[in-house]
């Protein structure tokens, strides 16, 4: 998770004499702080893979929202060289080709095009102005203090949007962000993300989302080179056991390679299911019976091809045709399409393009266990219908497919909904107090967003630095 390196960075900046260790190489090591993460590399899912032929594949389609409060406070945007998406989206509807929906307040020149597009009704477009006014005239804190309902009810009953507009725009847009049906999304989270999109831009760093991880790791390494602290605190092997040693009030961590680590403080920076497993190992009596929060999965396919993309504008393209038809979701699995190479440099070699295709949970479950060629054929067929590229779709190369089973924690209902702005208390889990020095971070401890992971990491890192460094 992103929270892992955020927690690490906060520990380092907060420490002047503390020493943290972990890493591999010794059968037993002792330290003040040990960071446990589910991934062998820093940053968890915020990674980018480089192909041999020069393409950058993010591990699942994601965007960097520049208005996220915590990322604005700790990241250097200039270094990231953010390429920006155009506001709004292109929508594929049943009766027409791609239609444009834009923010008329930020791009008034697109007002006429948006008002008379085939997406939703004219009244729907006018009601958008009321929604934009609501989120822009309230702080994030105020939005999270409002009464919470499910997002579908909010859109239908409070704002009065038509089913046509919800199915063609809101549904594919929001489900592509939060990976859950609208009736399982939080109205507070909806207002939050809509505020972020209406006030800033969705972006991609030059060279991929992994550049965010690289920047924070570089900052940690820069601090450690001063000699005041030691940066070797990440346990890189799979952890099989965590025990609390009452005699000296420390934690004993055992890995799959029979290495052991002893620490006064443990920062657990994993997804929710893995955190639940390790907490059960720590104290089975207290944590084993606690229910696990539902998780959302997602899939992403990447295609490369020579030449310009069929849509040259840096904009998201949504499937506004599905509605509630389950058979359609299987035969037409694409929820959204993006051409990252049209948004930011470094995603494709000169003269070539990269296409990102997002597949939601229902389609992922249907195609799991089946030959990958079946999903590939269904995706190509849908892309041909959208972009009229029958002549050369066979030349597109499938560069990679990512399936992320625990991509996001559920943000509504369940025992531990990820909808808490500012983050939960990292010294407890589901109301159960953790042993002193055991801290938890991750998006499941705040909101199901990149911003939430950062918030949780900062919170845990500050406590670790203040108490144990």
The predicted model scores a pTM of: 0.87
Tell me the DSSP string of 227-248.
Answer: SSS-EE-EE-SPEEEEEEETTT
The CATH homologous superfamily of the domain defined by 2-46+209-293+414-468: FAD/NAD(P)-binding domain (3.50.50.60)
Give the number of C-alpha atoms closer than 13 A to the C-alpha of residue 283, restricted to the C-beta side: 14
What six digits make up the tokens of 219? 């900052």
pLDDT at 293: 87
CA distance 409 to 109: 38
pLDDT at 391: 63
What six digits make up the tokens of 255? 């890995």
CA distance 154 to 170: 12
3-state secondary structure of 95: coil
Residue 436 is classified by DSSP as T
In terms of CATH architecture, what is 103-198?
A: Orthogonal Bundle (1.10)
Ordered per-residue pLDDT tens for the chain, 469 residues: 455 545 544 444 333 233 333 344 445 555 677 777 666 667 677 889 999 999 999 998 999 999 999 999 999 999 999 999 998 889 988 766 788 876 655 544 444 344 445 666 778 878 888 898 999 999 999 999 999 999 999 999 999 999 988 988 899 999 999 999 999 999 999 999 999 998 889 999 999 999 998 998 887 777 655 444 444 445 556 778 889 888 888 898 888 778 888 888 888 888 888 899 999 999 999 999 999 888 999 999 999 999 999 999 999 999 988 655 667 777 889 999 999 999 999 999 999 999 999 999 989 999 988 999 999 999 999 999 888 776 688 899 999 999 998 889 998 877 788 999 988 999 999 999 999 999 999 999 999 999 999 999 989 988 988 887 6
3-state secondary structure of 304: strand
pLDDT at 390: 65
CA distance 222 to 209: 21
Hey, what's the torsion of the CAs at 406, 408, 412, 415, to 10 degrees? Answer: 50
- Which sequence spans correspond to the domains of the chain? 2-46+209-293+414-468, 103-198
pLDDT at 335: 93
3-state secondary structure of 318: strand
What six digits make up the tokens of 83? 């390429």
CA distance 119 to 100: 8
What six digits make up the tokens of 416? 């531990």
CA distance 125 to 75: 35
């Amino acid at each position: 998770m992103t929270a892992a390196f955020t927690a690490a960075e906060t520990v380092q900046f907060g420490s002047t004499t503390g020493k943290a260790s972990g890493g591999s190489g010794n059968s037993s090591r002792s330290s003040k702080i040990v960071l446990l993460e589910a991934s062998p590399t820093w940053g968890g899912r915020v990674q980018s893979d480089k192909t041999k032929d020069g393409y950058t594949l993010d591990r699942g389609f994601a965007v960097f929202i520049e208005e996220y409060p915590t990322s604005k406070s700790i990241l250097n945007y200039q270094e990231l060289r953010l390429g920006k998406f155009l506001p709004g989206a292109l929508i594929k509807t049943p009766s027409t080709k791609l239609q444009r929906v834009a923010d008329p307040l930020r791009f008034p020149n697109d007002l006429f095009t948006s008002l008379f597009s085939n997406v939703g009704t004219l009244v729907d477009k006018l009601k958008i102005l009321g929604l934009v006014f609501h989120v822009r005239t309230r702080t994030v804190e105020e939005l999270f203090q409002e009464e919470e309902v499910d997002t579908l009810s909010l859109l239908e009953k409070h704002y009065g949007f038509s089913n046509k507009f919800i199915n063609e725009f809101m549904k594919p847009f929001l489900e592509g962000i939060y990976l859950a049906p609208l009736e399982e999304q939080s109205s507070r989270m909806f207002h939050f993300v809509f505020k972020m999109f209406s006030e800033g831009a969705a972006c991609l760093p030059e060279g991929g989302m992994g550049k965010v991880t690289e920047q924070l790791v570089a900052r940690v390494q820069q601090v450690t080179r001063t000699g005041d602290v030691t940066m070797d605190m990440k346990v890189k092997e799979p952890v099989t056991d965590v025990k609390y040693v009452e005699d000296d009030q420390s934690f004993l961590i055992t890995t799959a390679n029979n290495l052991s680590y002893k620490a006064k403080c443990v920062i657990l920076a994993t997804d929710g299911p893995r955190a639940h497993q390790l907490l059960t190992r720590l104290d089975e009596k207290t944590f084993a019976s606690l229910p696990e929060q539902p998780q959302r999965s997602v899939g992403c396919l990447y295609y490369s091809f020579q030449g310009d993309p069929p849509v040259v504008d840096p904009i998201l393209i949504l499937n506004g045709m599905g509605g509630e038809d389950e058979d359609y979701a299987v035969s037409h699995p694409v929820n959204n399409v993006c051409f990252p190479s049209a948004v930011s440099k470094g995603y494709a070699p000169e003269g070539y393009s990269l296409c990102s295709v997002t597949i939601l949970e229902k389609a992922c479950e249907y195609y799991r266990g089946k030959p990958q060629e079946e999903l590939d054929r269904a995706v190509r067929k849908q892309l041909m219908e959208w972009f009229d590229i029958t002549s050369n779709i066979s030349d597109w190369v499938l560069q990679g497919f990512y399936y992320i089973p625990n991509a996001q924690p559920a943000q509504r209902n369940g025992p531990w909904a990820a909808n808490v702005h500012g983050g939960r208390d990292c010294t407890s889990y589901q109301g159960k107090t953790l042993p002193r020095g055991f801290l938890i971070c991750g998006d499941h401890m705040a909101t199901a967003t990149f911003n939430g992971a950062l918030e949780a990491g900062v919170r845990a890192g500050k406590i670790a630095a203040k108490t144990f460094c």
